[in-house]
């Protein structure tokens, strides 16, 4: 697709939504149905949206990088399901990124995200089942988690359900959360390795950039993720199109010209 063949106002509009319809584009952007169909068709070819019904599109497009739960995390998930069948819990671990890492992640760190009203019950139940659960870990826990004995589980009080399928988060959420914990909580995890993991995700199945940016924004680190994407875009131009940054194409070119001039 040639740059600019879909106006920036269309990207701006869909970036704030999880779903969009043909009628939405017609009504909100004041274009004809033929034009709206053309826009959505081009966006679908770019994997920016995915058609899920007649005139209905999901923002984010198709498949992304795959992550797998190791047997320990699967066991943790089943343990929680048996006790909290109808609770909105999320389970994940650092090992979910290991397929894209340079080296095998040492001691794994497992997480359970639960609402505040349920978090203590989750802690008590996991303690009963032989785990070493820590509710609301502090910075020292994150820095020294490899020194904790037993089956360590950090319980986080959260209600965030975006980028989650069932009990398991999508890889974009795992990556963003790991970055957040490294920069905000002092998690003992190599920033360089986070970069390698992201690059390998790009080269493999790909990254759902809309999901990545939206979730990063919810975590309060949206600008940082855009800076990172901007920084590596030149290294992976085929995997990381201009639209992935969620910035107006015209503005991006002005910024690049400013940067080039400042470097002279």
pLDDT digits (tens, 9 = 90+) for 121-175: 999 999 999 999 999 999 999 999 999 999 999 999 998 888 887 888 989 999 9
Helix, strand or coil, per DSSP, at residue 136:
coil
What phi and psi, each to the nearest 5 degrees, are found at residue 56?
-120, 130
pTM: 0.76
How does pLDDT run across 167-218, given as a tens digit for each residue?
889 899 999 999 999 999 999 999 999 999 999 988 887 788 888 998 999 9
- Amino acid 3: pLDDT: 38
| Residue 35 resides in a domain | no
Alpha helices (runs of H) in 1-136, residue ranges in sequence order: 8-14, 22-29, 33-45, 71-83, 116-128
Show the domain range for 191.
71-226
| Residue 28 resides in a domain | no
pLDDT beyond 80 at 47: no
Got the DSSP string for 206-219? ---HHHHHHHHHHT
In terms of Cβ atoms closer than 10 Å to its own Cβ (0-12, 13-18, 19+), residue 130 is exposed
| Residue 246 resides in a domain | no
- Amino acid 15: pLDDT: 74
Residue 60 binned pLDDT confidence (cut-offs 50, 70, 90): low
Report the number of distinct structural domains present in the chain. 1
DSSP-derived letter for residue 108 is: -
Q: Which of 197, 187, 194 is nearest to 111 (CA)?
A: 187
What phi and psi, each to the nearest 5 degrees, are found at residue 16?
-100, 5
| Residue 83 resides in a domain | yes
Dist CA 66 CA 234 (whole Å) = 24
């Amino acid at each position: 697709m040639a740059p600019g063949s879909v106006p920036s106002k269309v990207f701006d509009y869909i970036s704030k939504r999880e779903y969009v319809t043909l009628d939405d584009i017609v009504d909100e952007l004041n274009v004809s149905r033929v034009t709206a169909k053309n826009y959505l068709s081009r966006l679908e070819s770019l994997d920016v949206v995915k058609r899920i019904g007649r005139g209905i599109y999901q923002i984010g497009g198709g498949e992304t990088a795959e992550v797998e739960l190791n047997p320990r995390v699967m066991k943790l998930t089943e343990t929680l399901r048996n006790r909290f069948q109808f609770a909105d819990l999320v389970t994940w671990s650092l090992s979910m990124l290991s397929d894209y890492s340079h080296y095998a992640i040492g001691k794994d760190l497992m997480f359970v995200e639960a609402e505040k009203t349920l978090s203590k019950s989750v802690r008590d139940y996991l303690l009963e089942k032989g785990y070493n659960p820590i509710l609301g870990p502090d910075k020292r826990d994150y820095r020294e988690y490899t020194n904790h004995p037993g089956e360590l589980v950090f319980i986080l009080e959260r209600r965030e359900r975006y980028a989650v399928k069932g009990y398991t988060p999508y890889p974009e959420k795992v990556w963003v959360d790991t970055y957040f914990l490294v920069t905000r909580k002092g998690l003992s995890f190599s920033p360089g390795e986070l970069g390698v993991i992201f690059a390998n995700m790009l080269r493999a199945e790909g990254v759902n950039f809309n999901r990545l940016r939206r979730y990063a924004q919810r975590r309060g680190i949206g600008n940082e993720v855009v800076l990172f994407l901007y920084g590596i875009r030149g290294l992976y131009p085929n995997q990381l199109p201009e639209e992935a940054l969620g910035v107006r194409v015209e503005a991006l070119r002005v910024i690049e010209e400013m940067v080039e001039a400042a470097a002279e």
